[in-house]
Amino acid sequence: MTCILETRSLNKEFGAVIAAKDLNVQINKGEVVGVIGSNGAGKTTFINMVTGYLKPTRGEILFNGKSIMGHSPRAITRAGMARSFQVAQLFPEMTVLDNLIVALAAAESARPSFLSPLRSDARIARAEEILKEFGVENYRDSLVTAVPQGARKLVDIAMALIGNPQMLLLDEPTSGVSMDEKTGLMDTVMNAVRQHGVTVLFVEHDMDVVERYVSRVLAFYSGEIIADGEPAAVLADQQVRDLVTGHRPTTKQGNGAS
Amino acid sequence: MTSLLAVLIDGSIYASWLFLVAAGLTVIYGVMRILNMAHGSFYAIGAYSAASLVGWYFNNGMGPAWVSYLLLVGAALVAGLIVGVIVERGLLRLMYGRDEILMVIITYALLLILEDGMKIVWGVSPYFAYQPYSELGRTSLGLLKVSNYDVALVGVSALLGLGLWAWLERTNQGKVLRAVIHDREIAVAMGVNVKLMFTITFVLGTTLGALAGALTAPAISVVPGIGIEVIVLAFAVVVIGGLGSIGGAAVGALLVGLSRAAAVHYAPEFELFVIYGVMSLVLAFRPEGLFGRTLVRKI
Amino acid sequence: MRLDKTEISLGLVALACVLFGFVSPGWLIFLLTIALAKALVVQGVVMQMRSGLVSFGQGLFYCIGGYTVGMGGQFFGIHDAIAALSLGMFVAIVIAMLLGLLLTRYREIFFAMLSLAFSMILFGILVKSQELGSTDGFNVHDWTLFGWAPEAGAGSQHTVFTMTVVAGLIVAVLLHRYTKAGVGVICEAVRENEVRVEYLGLSPRWLLYGNYVAAAAVSALGGGLTALATGHVDPEMAYWTTSGEFVFIALLGGLGHVAAPFIAAIVFSFVRTYAIEFVPHTWQMILGFTLLAVIIFLPKGLWSLVSREKTGERA
Amino acid sequence: MKNNKSKFSKYLVSGVAALALAAGAAGSASAAENGKFRVGIVTFLSGPAAGPFGVPSANAAKVLVDELNKGNLPAPYDKVGINGLEIEAVVIDEAGGATKQVEEYRNLVQRQKVDAVIGYVSSGDCLAIAPVAEELKTFTIAYDCGTPRLFADNPDAAYMFRTGLDASVDNIGAVRYLAATRPDVTRLAGIQQNYSWGQDSWADFTAAASALMPEAEVVEEQFPKIYQGQYGAEISALSVKRPEVVHSSFWGGDMEALVLQANARGLLEDATGLLTCGEASFATYKDQAPNGMIIGARGPFGQFAPDNELNTWFEGVYQNAYDLEPVYPATKMAQAILGLKYAAENAGVGDKEIASAEQLAAAMKGATFESVSGTVEMARANGHQAMQGITYGEYHYEDGVASIKNAVSFAGECVTPPEGVAAADWIADGFPGAQCN
């Protein structure tokens, strides 16, 4: 197995607050990794650093064996690592279809054209396929602000996948989505991901969701990784139970330690 | 040596005036996120109010001269208060939540209205209130003669700056205000009456603007258009210092004031470019201004 | 080249304008010429507004366009109007390519203030240039069109008017396409969510840069045409209040359609000229109230009067 | 209904609406020919130039037009209105820049159908208007702007006239006054607003000074931004150079602020101020200007206007109407209106007829007419530019009354370059052909 993403002693300090402390992570190609941890444990900071949004204080990040330290988010995206967001990052004054079309155009070229129309027939057709794949074709012409949270999350993830990334980082894909929708959403996403053969790392509060999809779990606490391994082993870990999952064997009635 | 001394003195005097003009602007921006184009008009209204009141005082039976200083300040406070409340309650309140740039345009419209409004009230003839200025006399430092009023202005400006700082840092109201500056959403969540804070801030800002005008009035001829001239100056000072920062405005004012004085004495041909040059340089190296906070959007 | 309905309508309105020019009085032709030429500058402001940036210094390029046309004729023997206008656009593009490198790092109020500062620096330089007439500026005359010199007076006025309408039409058609093309749409995307654009692997700075340079060229064209029409240029063109007027007109029209700035500029000119005639002492107040009324009652500009019913379909 | 509205018609509607609006506006123009003599009056009604120049001028125009329409003027202007026709003045604000002024000028001529235009304080506006006046063939009098370029750049001007003096006269006169009253002065300094007016004034003044006062040197020059209002640093810079005379072409609020601040800081006690536009604020200095400060009025205007019958009458009606003495811009406006009246009544047309622009121009060209400032000869720039003398004097304020002392006048031939000679060349050559009394 080859390692796609590796971090070496990654540190991030915001003044006196330590948001990441000596993070050493190795993700292999094809893995589906879940990241758990309470709010403020440093999960999003980790994703932000890896995708170039935040500059680490110290450490090293390697993607496909090459350092991507100091690269911009767009360079890292172009290199093949995409992400989704806790709060879906869409273009609020555009329709769902247009959001996808912009993403399609971006995937085709980093230098958009000045005069040929963005909404070409080919892009519209492709966008419609994607809408179907993610089951949001009903919202084709709605403004994204008028679309339910779950669909918005799906569009957000679809836009990340349009660039055919090798690796996808999902930041709380199910946050803000009702309990009933979660599984459907995750099934849609994971189907798409498997079709593209993408390595996935996702942050999730819901332990059910985590157990259902991942092959490996990283548990964050206060900027450090306190456990790393098979889901069952990590969730059974006493420290994880003390600090992260809060003694709930599996969360049937709540949504984790959020 | 004399000219170096002159640069320091002239620079500080000019800086203190710039700070007076810019303080209200930066307070309003810090709390309300409104870059107030009409700030210059409040300055002009303060100047007109003070000049007409003081002029009237001296033209009708000379009372003691010290009263005129109270009249200067009083006129500014009353004018700032009235105009501030009318504008905030009558116009801006309808507009909160709009785009930051749109608020700039709204205040630009306000500027156009106020400029002609002042013409209706005060006409176009000059108003003078020179008595408070000449009354204080001057101090000779060799060839250099300095107006005592100008020196006093440096003190007033410094006191005002300290007062604002103390109010923000040391009082409960100031703490609430800082909370609003820091994060409006959290402040609302904590139960801060943001609407009230907005009114207080805006009226404070307009009063500061009017006060700057009133304190300047004795040294100038109060004529139409004086407000327009100070807007860009005040903007530049505030942007250099970092929008919303009182300390930044003070440092920005000093920087511009001293650079300008130095240019006048040593390189007069660059005087016209000083303020924009300083602003471009500062922003090139510190895009948020000297004391501006870099905000990374949470995602 | 296939023309869509909008483009055909624009062409017809332009044709109507040119024909109207033959029957309308001189003052009206002049007013429309200036309004349309300024509308081109406003197009530059609107292009940037679409990308979320408000330029309080578009007068910079307006002035560059005007001065290049004037200086071309005065000092460099470039009397052909088309050549002079092109040169103006070229100079604007070169300067925009330089300034854009710095300016595209800034957003919101900082962009506004820095663009204002650059414009004011040009103003300062021109005020200092006594050989260019300092604040008095200089006259622009003796221009030709493909070697043909229109007769002074009504003839030349009419020629400038036609040139302005044609230039307006070309710019309108190009912009109509531009706003639907890659850079145009993605610039709007930058305004709506810059982070997302970055995470699509695009450079918001590059997009804004391209947009800034294109806007500069369009604005310079407007400046050049204004210089030909008025026959005079002065540094006031770069003063911040001039740029403020362009922002005013841009908001008046709204971002809804490529025709909006043209309509707004014409309405603005009429409001102003009649305000000056009927209330010479308080015409600025009239403008102020007009602007407030538009912001309060027509938040999307005058264009929303024309396109009330559109919501789902986007231009 | 809304849905039926096709996209196409929408665009057409908006285009046609704009044109219809325009056409409607065009229709209103025909109301103009109403048997009155219509004069466009353009001067600053807003902005910093309104107070010192624009409003006194507009006031002068208003009172003079009213009195003319009543036929109340002394001879030779006792005919009602202009050539027996009632005068209708259309007053326009000069603020807003040259482009806007060109637009408004065209509106005046083509929409408002005025028969003549009088106006323009700003030199930039004058320069922009001059070619348009020729294009539209409209009789136009520049009443105040001072740029020498007006006729230098437009040598073939046929319809443009100027009844005020060229600005180089101000500064040649100022140096002559210094040479006459303070020949021993050696240290000159200047403070000018940083724009054409200030730059040109200082260039003329220093050139004339080096010709007429070769012993004098320039020790300091300052060019603050126009409308700056605060001159602390500039006053320091001037003070430390110990000048004997400080020349300034400041005007309006800037000038008043400068006098106030320079006086309070002792500069005007140690040095004599020389303000070429100083008379415009004659009534406002009170005790804030030192006695002995030299002021000018850009010609024989305002306080320096002679005690002739016309001027006494004009001062009387102006004082009656506004409770103020007329300052120089007011006198200059009156002079322009009288010039127009002279031209219209000597154009060779019958009573109550309106002369054409060509007839007006022919009558004005090279004319000599009586004015509130004495006799005006249109003796320069092919008969388009007035030539008159200039007077300077010292400001004095005692017991609440301001007055002029030590006034010295210089004849027109003494301060005006001969026909066809540029002021700069004339000064550089040492004033050949100057006739001084």
Give A 32-71 residues with CB within 8 A of chain B. 44, 48, 53-54
CA angle D166, D172, D177 (to 5 degrees): 130
- pLDDT of D242 > 50? The answer is yes
Contacts of C19 (CB under 8 A, 6+ apart): none
- pLDDT of B257 > 90? The answer is yes
Count other C-beta atoms under 10 Å from residue D385's C-beta: 24
Q: Each residue of A39-63: pLDDT tens digit?
A: 878 888 889 999 999 888 888 999 9
**Does residue B293 form part of some domain?**
no
Q: Which residue has the higher pLDDT, D102 or A234?
A: D102
Give the closest-approach CA distance of B233 to chain C in angstroms.
11
- The tokens for B186 are 């959290």
Contacts of D355 (CB under 8 A, 6+ apart): D83, D343, D344, D347, D348, D349, D363
Specify the amino acid at residue B192.
V
Please report, for chain D, the start and end positions of each structural domain, with discontinuous segments joined by +: 34-165+305-387, 168-297+399-428
Task: Report the pLDDT value the prediction gives residue B294, as an integer from 0 to 100.
Answer: 66
Q: Each residue of A144-179: pLDDT tens digit?
A: 889 988 889 999 999 999 988 999 999 888 888 888
CB B174, CB B167: distance < 8 Å: yes
Q: Which helix (H) or strand (E) holds B140?
A: strand B138-141
Task: Report the pLDDT value the prediction gives residue B60, as an integer from 0 to 100.
Answer: 83
Percent helix, percent strand, percent coil in chain A, to nearest 5: 40, 25, 35
Per DSSP, D38 falls in state E
Confidence of residue A255 (pLDDT cuts 50, 70, 90): very low
- D22 vs C28, C135, C259: nearest CB: C28
Binary contact (C25, D12; C-beta < 8 A): no
Q: Each residue of D285-317: pLDDT tens digit?
A: 888 899 999 999 999 999 999 999 999 999 999
Give A 87-106 residues with CB within 8 A of chain B. 87, 89
What percent of chain B is modeled with pLDDT above 70? 97
Task: Report the pLDDT value the prediction gives residue D341, as an integer from 0 to 100.
Answer: 95
| B296 and chain A in contact, CB less than 8 A | yes
- The tokens for A213 are 């999809």
Question: Which of C135, C164, C310 best tests the D interface by mutation, with the highest count of D CBs <10 A?
Answer: C135
Q: Measure the CA–CA gap between A169 and A156, rounded to whole angstroms.
A: 12
Contacts of C125 (CB under 8 A, 6+ apart): none
Q: Measure the CA–CA gap between A132 and A149, rounded to whole angstroms.
A: 17
Task: Report the pLDDT value the prediction gives residue A258, as an integer from 0 to 100.
Answer: 37
Give the global pTM.
0.88
B/e letters for B170-205, b = 16+ CB within 10 Å, e = fewer, are eeeeeebbebbbeebeebeeeebebeebbbbbbbbb
Task: Report the pLDDT value the prediction gives residue D31, as an integer from 0 to 100.
Answer: 39
CB D321, CB D353: distance < 8 Å: no
Q: Measure the CA–CA gap between D145 and D164, rounded to whole angstroms.
A: 7
Average pLDDT, chain D: 89
**Which residues make beta-bridge pairs with A200?**
A32, A168
How many domains does one find in chain B?
1
Q: Measure the CA–CA gap between C234 and D195, rounded to whole angstroms.
A: 11
Cα–Cα nearest to A81, from A171, A165, A190? A165
Task: Give me the sign of the Cα torsion angle D205, D210, D215, D221.
Answer: positive
- Classify C25 as helix, strand or coil: coil
**Does residue B292 form part of some domain?**
no
| C184 and chain A in contact, CB less than 8 A | yes
Give A 166-205 residues with CB within 8 A of chain B. none
First to last CA, chain C: 19
Cα–Cα nearest to C192, from A106, B295, A90, A111? A90
Q: Measure the CA–CA gap between B93 and B81, rounded to whole angstroms.
A: 16
What number is the average pLDDT over the span D191-217?
Answer: 92
**Does residue B298 form part of some domain?**
no
Contacts of D348 (CB under 8 A, 6+ apart): D355, D359, D363
Binary contact (D50, B268; C-beta < 8 A): no
Q: Measure the CA–CA gap between B112 and B92, rounded to whole angstroms.
A: 16
**Does residue B290 form part of some domain?**
no
- The tokens for C159 are 């020629």
Q: Measure the CA–CA gap between A175 and A203, rounded to whole angstroms.
A: 10
Binary contact (A85, B299; C-beta < 8 A): yes
C-alpha A95 chain-centroid distance: 22
The torsion defined by the Cα of A48, A49, A52 and A57, in degrees rounded to 10, comes to 140
Q: Which helix (H) or strand (E) holds C31?
A: helix C26-50
Contacts of D323 (CB under 8 A, 6+ apart): none
- B264 vs D234, D239, D261: nearest CB: D234
- Classify D287 as helix, strand or coil: helix
- pLDDT of A249 > 80? The answer is no
Q: Please, where are the H alpha helices in chain A?
A: 43-50, 73-79, 96-108, 121-133, 149-162, 179-196, 207-213, 231-236, 238-240
Binary contact (B116, C285; C-beta < 8 A): yes
Q: Measure the CA–CA gap between B284 and B271, rounded to whole angstroms.
A: 20
C-alpha D71 chain-centroid distance: 26
Task: Report the pLDDT value the prediction gives residue A1, as an integer from 0 to 100.
Answer: 64
Q: Measure the CA–CA gap between B159 and B164, rounded to whole angstroms.
A: 8
Q: What are phi and psi of C256, to 5 degrees?
A: -65, -30
Give B 145-184 residues with CB within 8 A of chain C. none
What number is the average pLDDT over the span D208-236?
Answer: 92
Binary contact (D10, C34; C-beta < 8 A): no
Cα–Cα nearest to D82, from D309, D334, D337, D331? D337
- The tokens for A133 are 């794949």
Confidence of residue A195 (pLDDT cuts 50, 70, 90): confident
pLDDT tens per residue across all 315 residues of chain C: 567 888 888 999 999 988 888 888 888 999 999 999 999 999 999 999 999 999 999 999 999 999 999 998 888 888 899 999 999 999 999 999 999 999 998 888 889 888 998 998 999 899 888 888 888 888 887 788 887 888 777 778 889 999 999 999 999 999 999 998 888 899 999 999 999 999 999 999 999 999 999 999 999 999 999 999 988 899 999 998 899 999 989 988 888 889 999 999 999 999 988 888 888 888 889 989 988 988 888 877 777 777 654 443 343
Task: Report the pLDDT value the prediction gives residue B1, as an integer from 0 to 100.
Answer: 65
Strand ranges inside B70-216, DSSP E? 138-141, 144-147
CB B104, CB B37: distance < 8 Å: yes
Give the closest-approach CA distance of D139 to chain C in angstroms.
16
Q: Give the CATH fold of the D34-165+305-387 domain.
A: Rossmann fold (3.40.50)
Confidence of residue B296 (pLDDT cuts 50, 70, 90): low
- Identical fold at D34-165+305-387 and D168-297+399-428? yes
Return the residue of B nearest to A171 by Cα.
B299
Task: Report the pLDDT value the prediction gives residue A254, as an integer from 0 to 100.
Answer: 40
Q: Each residue of B16-44: pLDDT tens digit?
A: 999 999 999 998 988 888 889 899 999 99
First to last CA, chain A: 34
Which chains does D contact via 3+ CB–CB distances below 8 A?
A: B, C
- pLDDT of D11 > 60? The answer is no
Q: Measure the CA–CA gap between C220 and C38, rounded to whole angstroms.
A: 10
B/e letters for B144-162, b = 16+ CB within 10 Å, e = fewer, are bbbbebbbebbebbeebbe
Q: Each residue of D47-87: pLDDT tens digit?
A: 889 889 999 999 999 999 999 999 999 988 989 999 999 99
B/e letters for D268-280, b = 16+ CB within 10 Å, e = fewer, are bebbbbbbbbbbb
Q: Measure the CA–CA gap between A165 and C173, rounded to whole angstroms.
A: 37
Q: Which domains does chain A have, with CATH numbers?
A: 1-80+166-175+197-251 (3.40.50.300), 89-163 (no CATH)
> Which of A212-216, A249-253, B8-12, B188-192 is most confident?
B8-12
Q: Measure the CA–CA gap between D94 and C281, rounded to whole angstroms.
A: 11
CB D364, CB D161: distance < 8 Å: yes
- pLDDT of B249 > 50? The answer is yes
Confidence of residue D28 (pLDDT cuts 50, 70, 90): very low
CB B238, CB B26: distance < 8 Å: yes
Q: Measure the CA–CA gap between D375 and D408, rounded to whole angstroms.
A: 18
- pLDDT of D154 > 60? The answer is yes
- pLDDT of D338 > 60? The answer is yes
User: Poorest-confidence range of A92-96, C293-297, D149-153?
Assistant: C293-297
The torsion defined by the Cα of C212, C216, C218 and C224, in degrees rounded to 10, comes to 180
Task: Report the pLDDT value the prediction gives residue D14, as an integer from 0 to 100.
Answer: 52
Task: Report the pLDDT value the prediction gives residue C77, as an integer from 0 to 100.
Answer: 83
- The tokens for B246 are 């009182």
- The tokens for B106 are 């709204």
First to last CA, chain B: 56
Cis before A92 (ω within 30): no
Cα–Cα nearest to B92, from B77, B76, B110? B110
- The tokens for B203 are 């009226």
CB B282, CB B290: distance < 8 Å: yes
User: Poorest-confidence range of A100-109, A180-189, D203-212?
Assistant: A180-189
- pLDDT of A64 > 80? The answer is yes
Task: Report the pLDDT value the prediction gives residue D8, as an integer from 0 to 100.
Answer: 45
Cα–Cα nearest to A209, from A184, A226, A246? A184
Tell me yes or no: is domain D168-297+399-428 CATH 3.40.50.2300.
Answer: yes
- A89 vs C185, C195, C314: nearest CB: C195
Contacts of A234 (CB under 8 A, 6+ apart): A36, A217, A218, A219, A227, A228, A240
Q: Measure the CA–CA gap between D402 and D281, rounded to whole angstroms.
A: 11
Task: Report the pLDDT value the prediction gives residue C91, as an integer from 0 to 100.
Answer: 96
**Does residue B79 form part of some domain?**
yes
Q: Which helix (H) or strand (E) holds C260?
A: helix C260-278
Which residues of chain C are within 8 Å of residue A72 when distances are taken between CB atoms?
198, 203
- Give the domain range for residue B95: 2-285
